[in-house]
A and B are shown apart, each in its own frame.
Chain A
């Protein structure tokens, strides 16, 4: 576990500490003085980056965000903003924009008054306030809604106002705490693009908290996967999906077939694993403890091939089709493989469909690098 934290720290340090806008240095947080909610967090966020903190509820991601915003204090360690420690800076002096889960628009003010609020508390002149408010409203395509109350707007419109309000005073850093959680799926996807485009256009730094992995994959430059108060992996979306560092990340991000077994031999680029069902397979060693240690093999469903040529694959096994689910562009096939009956294969539509019938035996295979040998998950 400590190894992971070091790894996260190392990869962010490679971005160069001079470029870091935000830096968490050995930050710990405990609410009750006994158990740590955040355990020794080291994280650097580069200027202009879109970083997502992703994790299940209770993983410490929101606590990290609240410490950055100043609503929670770190029990141990320091948080730097622009190189300056901000542990003792009260939240209203941090100049960090924030979008809340339920938008937190002030219901007794109009949209324009909501947007003018951060400007007025900064004692800005009336003419300038109006100009900035109008510009912010135009940015989120709500130019004519300034006179309305938040209660008169739809969820998506309220969301845009909340984003505009967090940006209207030109903060360098904007925090977003599951801002799209209350929207329906279609609107959520649309807003993901809008927020992403605003981020690209303004060049601001965004720290985004979500438990929705597709949202994280869509929007982020880098994703920090949280679990149990620790960053399990910090990587760009494609790395996270294709090269998970451990079994938690493999299972949390995307769909994952798992096969458990014991390591029999370890080389530099390959290891031999004897599955619980007895088969011998080869895998890429990623996180194993040497010979004889238990391991979980991770295989993405779309990387499993049906009836492969021997040359294409490093491993082939025989599976039995259990169930077919037609999904248009592909067919989700559940198979019994190596003693497990929850092995999923995504079969592209229009190829080899005919032989897929429940009960049929089919040869399947995969490449060595697609089968990653990881640690055993904590609970299985």
Chain B
């Protein structure tokens, strides 16, 4: 009973949104909902004959469009089909106006007269393709592929491919950031673990201080530091390392995104490492040394293996956070340092293609879960320690 509120909270803020996202990524009832009559008849139409559908289908389509116009829903179906075949949006918008005057049949020539695309078999094939209530179309788009009208799945041309590259970039940058946080965080965590409590507490505060500062402040601070008229560039020019005319571009690109995110995610690596290192007794290294191992060998063979649970926990934490990071790459990533999450945000807030956003999100979630399982298989999740 006591966990009831928490359970409800998790249900409404976690499971339901994720379920909704999974559903939206394949959901496609909009076409049949708005065009109920015509899609019913189109289902029986044999698209392989390359002949236009019968007069009855055209009549049903006119009826559907009229009703959709009244309900102000017709543009939505046009928008949906426009993702798959450009021009569908304007086809439905302009036809909607003209169907107002179509009082009686035959509707076939009237509709073709209203917009010549109605006379093309491809138009009807596109509509028929999206009759099923569920579609893989969003997922195909998310991996730069599409289903041809004949049912074949093909990759898009090179110039149209975006998402696969973006996924690779997201994974690559996340890996680089994870590696950098490990390289930078390991010595700090080690120092914190071996120093006397007083000094290690001071270090801990230095690690946590950025935690208590707004994310936005930290990110914009990097802009101030790295921009072309920024602190670091001015310093480089002052020292004479670079000329004032060819100041390096250090922000609004991949480099800036890596630097800023490494800094922001560093505590997530340091803290699990520290909490694991703290539990490794000093006597382990002493024992190894007393047994004749050089201090370096003692560190590497005895101390380091003990920190692996912390490395695993920190790495998986930083990597998962990095892979879905949004605000920092948005602010400092420019064009070469954007992540897949920026694209998802674009589809949710700007292009309003929620289905594609959901499909991208599901793939991202799938990658994270797959990596988690891989980690579990290699290191064992029981070995992970967060504190």
A positions within 8 Å CB-CB of B: 69-71, 90-98, 100-102, 104-108, 117-118, 121-122, 165-166, 169, 175
Assess whether B283 is in contact with A102, with CB atoms less than 8 Å apart. Answer: yes
Inter-chain CA distance A133–B289, complex, in Å, is: 19
Q: 8 Å CB contacts to A: which residues of B246-302? A: 281, 283-284, 286-295, 297-298, 301-302
Name the residue in A91, A94, A105, A169 with the highest tally of chain B Cβ atoms < 10 Å from its Cβ. A91
Inter-chain CA distance A169–B292, complex, in Å, is: 9
Inter-chain CA distance A108–B300, complex, in Å, is: 13
Q: Given A106-B302, A107-B306, A121-B297, are A100 and B283 neighbors across the interface (CB < 8 Å)? A: yes
Name the residue in A70, A92, A165, A175 with the highest tally of chain B Cβ atoms < 10 Å from its Cβ. A92
Q: Given A106-B302, A108-B306, A121-B297, are A96 and B283 neighbors across the interface (CB < 8 Å)? A: no
B305 interface residue, CB < 8 Å from A? Answer: yes
Q: A101 is contacted by which of B283, B290, B292 (Cβ under 8 Å)?
A: B283
Q: A92 is contacted by which of B281, B295, B302, B306 (Cβ under 8 Å)?
A: B295
Q: 8 Å CB contacts to A: which residues of B305-364? A: 305-306
Assess whether A104 is in contact with B292, with CB atoms less than 8 Å apart. Answer: no
With both chains docked as a complex, state the minimum distance between the C-beta of A96 and any C-beta of chain B, in angstroms. Answer: 6
Assess whether B306 is in contact with A104, with CB atoms less than 8 Å apart. Answer: no
A residues in contact with B306, CB < 8 Å: 107-108
Q: What's the dominant secondary structure at chain A's contact region? A: loop
Name the residue on B nearest A122 (C-beta).
Answer: B292
Assess whether B284 is in contact with A92, with CB atoms less than 8 Å apart. Answer: no
Inter-chain CA distance A264–B302, complex, in Å, is: 65
Inter-chain CA distance A166–B287, complex, in Å, is: 9
Inter-chain CA distance A122–B294, complex, in Å, is: 10
Assess whether B290 is in contact with A97, with CB atoms less than 8 Å apart. Answer: yes
With both chains docked as a complex, state the minimum distance between the C-beta of A170 and any C-beta of chain B, in angstroms. Answer: 11
B residues in contact with A169, CB < 8 Å: 291-292
Inter-chain CA distance A117–B288, complex, in Å, is: 8
Assess whether B292 is in contact with A118, with CB atoms less than 8 Å apart. Answer: yes
Assess whether B287 is in contact with A100, with CB atoms less than 8 Å apart. Answer: yes
Assess whether A92 is in contact with B292, with CB atoms less than 8 Å apart. Answer: yes
B residues in contact with A122, CB < 8 Å: 292
Q: A104 is contacted by which of B281, B294, B295, B305 (Cβ under 8 Å)?
A: B281
B residues in contact with A118, CB < 8 Å: 291-293
With both chains docked as a complex, state the minimum distance between the C-beta of B291 and any C-beta of chain A, in angstroms. Answer: 4
Name the residue in A106, A118, A165, A169 with the highest tally of chain B Cβ atoms < 10 Å from its Cβ. A106
Name the residue in B288, B292, B302, B305 with the highest tally of chain A Cβ atoms < 10 Å from its Cβ. B292
Inter-chain CA distance A169–B305, complex, in Å, is: 23
Top 3 A-B pairs, shortest CB-CB distance: A118-B291, A104-B287, A104-B283
Assess whether A91 is in contact with B281, with CB atoms less than 8 Å apart. Answer: no
A residues in contact with B283, CB < 8 Å: 100-102, 104
Name the residue in B290, B295, B301 with the highest tally of chain A Cβ atoms < 10 Å from its Cβ. B290
Assess whether A165 is in contact with B291, with CB atoms less than 8 Å apart. Answer: yes
A residues in contact with B289, CB < 8 Å: 70-71, 90-92
19 pairs, CB–CB < 8 Å, chain A vs chain B? A70-B289, A90-B295, A91-B286, A92-B293, A92-B295, A92-B298, A94-B290, A102-B281, A102-B283, A104-B286, A106-B284, A106-B288, A106-B302, A107-B306, A117-B293, A118-B293, A121-B294, A165-B291, A175-B290
With both chains docked as a complex, state the minimum distance between the C-beta of A114 and any C-beta of chain B, in angstroms. Answer: 9
Inter-chain CA distance A105–B286, complex, in Å, is: 11
Name the residue on A nearest B290 (C-beta).
Answer: A98
Inter-chain CA distance A175–B298, complex, in Å, is: 19
Inter-chain CA distance A71–B301, complex, in Å, is: 19
Name the residue on B nearest A106 (C-beta).
Answer: B302
A residues in contact with B294, CB < 8 Å: 92, 121
Q: B291 is contacted by which of A102, A121, A175 (Cβ under 8 Å)?
A: A121
Inter-chain CA distance A283–B110, complex, in Å, is: 135
Assess whether B305 is in contact with A108, with CB atoms less than 8 Å apart. Answer: yes
A residues in contact with B286, CB < 8 Å: 69, 71, 91, 98, 100, 104
A residues in contact with B291, CB < 8 Å: 92, 97-98, 117-118, 121, 165-166, 169
Name the residue on B nearest A66 (C-beta).
Answer: B286
Besides A104-B286, A106-B302, 14 other CB < 8 A contacts? A70-B290, A71-B289, A90-B295, A94-B290, A98-B291, A102-B283, A104-B287, A105-B287, A106-B288, A117-B291, A118-B291, A121-B293, A166-B290, A169-B292
B residues in contact with A165, CB < 8 Å: 291
Inter-chain CA distance A107–B301, complex, in Å, is: 11
Inter-chain CA distance A280–B344, complex, in Å, is: 99
Assess whether B287 is in contact with A121, with CB atoms less than 8 Å apart. Answer: no
Inter-chain CA distance A107–B306, complex, in Å, is: 8
Inter-chain CA distance A104–B286, complex, in Å, is: 9
Q: Given A104-B281, A104-B284, A106-B284, are A96 and B302 neighbors across the interface (CB < 8 Å)? A: no
Name the residue in B289, B294, B301 with the highest tally of chain A Cβ atoms < 10 Å from its Cβ. B289
Assess whether B305 is in contact with A92, with CB atoms less than 8 Å apart. Answer: no
Name the residue on A nearest B291 (C-beta).
Answer: A118
With both chains docked as a complex, state the minimum distance between the C-beta of A144 and any C-beta of chain B, in angstroms. Answer: 23
A residues in contact with B302, CB < 8 Å: 106
Inter-chain CA distance A96–B291, complex, in Å, is: 7
B residues in contact with A166, CB < 8 Å: 290-291
B residues in contact with A71, CB < 8 Å: 286, 289
With both chains docked as a complex, state the minimum distance between the C-beta of A378 and any C-beta of chain B, in angstroms. Answer: 31
B residues in contact with A121, CB < 8 Å: 291-294, 297
Assess whether A98 is in contact with B295, with CB atoms less than 8 Å apart. Answer: no
Inter-chain CA distance A102–B282, complex, in Å, is: 11
Inter-chain CA distance A98–B298, complex, in Å, is: 15
B residues in contact with A94, CB < 8 Å: 290
Name the residue in B286, B287, B297 with the highest tally of chain A Cβ atoms < 10 Å from its Cβ. B287
With both chains docked as a complex, state the minimum distance between the C-beta of B299 and any C-beta of chain A, in angstroms. Answer: 12
Assess whether A98 is in contact with B287, with CB atoms less than 8 Å apart. Answer: yes
Inter-chain CA distance A92–B292, complex, in Å, is: 4
Inter-chain CA distance A94–B291, complex, in Å, is: 9
With both chains docked as a complex, state the minimum distance between the C-beta of B321 and any C-beta of chain A, in angstroms. Answer: 28
Inter-chain CA distance A90–B292, complex, in Å, is: 10
Name the residue on B nearest A91 (C-beta).
Answer: B289
With both chains docked as a complex, state the minimum distance between the C-beta of A88 and any C-beta of chain B, in angstroms. Answer: 15
Inter-chain CA distance A102–B305, complex, in Å, is: 19
Inter-chain CA distance A69–B287, complex, in Å, is: 10
With both chains docked as a complex, state the minimum distance between the C-beta of B311 and any C-beta of chain A, in angstroms. Answer: 13
Name the residue on B nearest A97 (C-beta).
Answer: B290
With both chains docked as a complex, state the minimum distance between the C-beta of B360 and any C-beta of chain A, in angstroms. Answer: 40
A residues in contact with B297, CB < 8 Å: 121
With both chains docked as a complex, state the minimum distance between the C-beta of A360 and any C-beta of chain B, in angstroms. Answer: 55
Q: Given A102-B281, A104-B281, are A69 and B293 neighbors across the interface (CB < 8 Å)? A: no
Name the residue on B nearest A118 (C-beta).
Answer: B291
B residues in contact with A96, CB < 8 Å: 290
Q: B290 is contacted by which of A91, A102, A106, A108 (Cβ under 8 Å)?
A: A91
